[in-house]
Amino acid sequence: MSHALETLIGHWKADPLSTYNTWFLWEERLKNFRSIRRGLAQVVKDIDAGTFGSAFRGSSLETVVGSVAEQRQIFKGADHAFLWKPKLRIPDIYENATNQQAFARLLHTCDCCNSAEEVIEAIRRIDARQIKGLGPAVANLLYFVHPTIVMPFNTAIVKGYNAVTGSSVKLGKWEHYLSMREGGLRLNAQHRNALSNDMGALAGLLFDIGSGRYAAPPRDDDAAALQGWEADLEKVREESAAAHKRWAAERESDATHTEIQGWLRDLGKSLGYGVWIASNDQGRSYQGGRLGDGCLTQLPAQARAGLDSVRLIDVIWVEADGSKVAAAFEVEHSTSIYSGIVRMLDLALGTELGAGVSMFLVAPDARREDVRSQLRRPAFTRVAELGIRYLPYSELGAHRDAIGRFGSGLKPLNEISHLL
C-alpha cells in the first residue's frame, strides 16, 4: 500500500479543492491557533473561578468550540459533541462540578506540558473518570494546543483511517482514539516527506478519504484494484477542475482581504503614521510589489514585549516617532470574527500599550450583524471597555482618498466607523 498511498498523497496535494489546499495551507488556520488556545485558557479560568455556569450556551466553551467549528469543512460540526443533551444529560461537564473541574485540569495540563507522554497521561486520567458524553472529540480542542502530538478526530477521519489501515477504530472511546493516534504517527513517519510534522495534514488526507472524496488505496500487489483506483483518482481530478470556480472564489476572497489591507497601509502612510503589516502577510503580492513594501520591520518595544499574536494583527499604525501604537485594524472579509477580536484583546490587555489604542474591525457592510453578535458574547465582556469600532468597507472605500488628502489623525476614521 505504501506506493499507492504515496501516489494518492501526490494527487491530494495537487487537488485545489482538497483539504490540504483549502484548509491545511489556509493562512487563517495558523492565525487561529493562538486565539483558540487563549479561549481554552479562558474556559479553565472560568471553571476555576466558579463562573463557567451550568450550560453550553453562553459559556466561554461555546465561544472557543464555535471558533474550531469554523475551521473549514474538516471541523464542521465540531461543536455537536459539546452541545448539552438534556434528556441524556451529556456531556456531563455542565451540571457535575467535579467532572467540570476534571475537564479544566485536562485543558490546563495539556496547555502547560510539552511532551507527548504528558498529553497521553492527561488523556488517560480523564478517560479513567468515565465522564458520560466526554470522549475523543475533545482531541479537536487539544490539536490546537499540540498540533504535532494530537491528531484531530471525527467520523470521517476515523472512516478514512480504517479504510487505509484495515483497522476497526470506533467513535466515542478514548482507547480507540489513542490506538488510531499511534497508527497515525506511524503512517506520518512513513510519508513524512510528503506530509508534515503537523498531524493536521494526515488528518486532512484521512478526512477526504473518509468523506468519500477519494477511495482508499488498495494493496500494491493487486493490479486490477490499482488500475480501478487510479481511474477513480482521474475522475476526482476532473471533478476538481469542474469545481474550480468555488476555489477561485475563495482566492478572490483572499485577494479582497489583501486589497483592504493595502488601502489601510496607504491611508496610514498618507496620514504620517508608520505602518505594520501582519508578519505572515508582508510577502503577499499587491500592486506589482509586496504588501509589506515600505512598512515597518518591527513594532514598538511595548508591543514586541507582548504576545506573539499581536504581530498577526492585519494592520497597525504607529506614531511617526515610533513611540507607540496609534491604531490597529483587523480585516474580517469572510473568516471568523472571533480570532480578530482575540488579537485585539491581546494587544490591549497583554502588552504595555493599554487601552489607549484605537481599534477597528474592518468588514463588509453585510457582516455588521456578525460583528455585533460576536461582540455580545460573554467571553468578550472587556471589549466594550476598549471601544472597538466597526468600519464598513463601503465607508472606507468612499472616504479613504479624501481622508488621505485632507485628514489628520484618527478623527475622520472615528466619524465613518461605528461603536457597537
pLDDT at residue 238 is higher than 90: no
Residue 336 has what pLDDT?
66
Domain-located, residue 58? yes
Is residue 265 located within the same domain as residue 331? yes
From 164, 188, 212, the end of a domain falls on 212
If one compares 68 and 251, the residue with the highest pLDDT of the two is 68
Residue 144 lies in domain? 19-212
How far is the CA of 321 from the CAs of 42, 89, 168, 275, 355, in angstroms? 36, 59, 63, 12, 20
Mind listing the pLDDT tens digit for each residue in 314-349? Answer: 999 999 888 788 999 999 876 667 777 788 877 877
Pair 24, 204: CB distance under 8 Å? yes
Look at residues 48, 69, 47, 49 and name the one whose alpha carbon lies nearest to residue 59: 47
Residue 247 has what pLDDT?
44
From 191, 212, 233, the end of a domain falls on 212
Is residue 132 located within the same domain as residue 259? no
List the single range of 16-30, 251-265, 286-300 with lowest mean pLDDT. 251-265
If one compares 231 and 115, the residue with the highest pLDDT of the two is 115
Residue 287 corresponds to which cell in the numbers above?
500592486
Domain-located, residue 68? yes
- Please state, for a pLDDT cut of 70, what percent of the chain lies above it: 85
Residue 369 has what pLDDT?
83
Is residue 266 located within the same domain as residue 332? yes
Residue 79 corresponds to which cell in the numbers above?
461543536
Is residue 305 located within the same domain as residue 383? yes
Is residue 309 located within the same domain as residue 164? no
Number of domains comprising the chain: 2
- CB hemisphere CA count around 290 (13 angstroms): 13
Cis before 136 (ω within 30): no
Domain-located, residue 236? no
Domain-located, residue 221? no
Is residue 73 located within the same domain as residue 205? yes
In the structure, what pLDDT confidence band is assigned to residue 4 with cuts at 50, 70 and 90? confident
Is residue 200 located within the same domain as residue 55? yes
Mind listing the pLDDT tens digit for each residue in 142-152? Answer: 999 999 999 99
Domain-located, residue 239? no
Per-residue pLDDT, averaged over 4-21, amounts to 91
Domain-located, residue 279? yes
Mind listing the pLDDT tens digit for each residue in 340-393? Answer: 778 887 787 766 655 578 989 998 888 888 877 877 776 676 666 778 889 999
Per the confidence metrics, is the pTM higher than 0.75?
no
Quote the distance between the C-alpha of residue 231 and its chain's center: 35
Is residue 104 located within the same domain as residue 202? yes
Is residue 263 located within the same domain as residue 195? no
Domain-located, residue 8? no
Residue 171 corresponds to which cell in the numbers above?
467513535
Is residue 281 located within the same domain as residue 156? no
Pair 163, 216: CB distance under 8 Å? yes
Domain-located, residue 116? yes
Residue 152 has what pLDDT?
95
From 186, 212, 238, the end of a domain falls on 212
In the structure, what pLDDT confidence band is assigned to residue 304 with cuts at 50, 70 and 90? low
Residue 198 has what pLDDT?
96
Residue 229 has what pLDDT?
46
Quote the distance between the C-alpha of residue 393 and its chain's center: 23
Is residue 208 located within the same domain as residue 352? no
Residue 408 has what pLDDT?
86
Alpha-carbon radius of gyration of the chain: 23
Residue 333 has what pLDDT?
75
Is residue 145 located within the same domain as residue 268? no
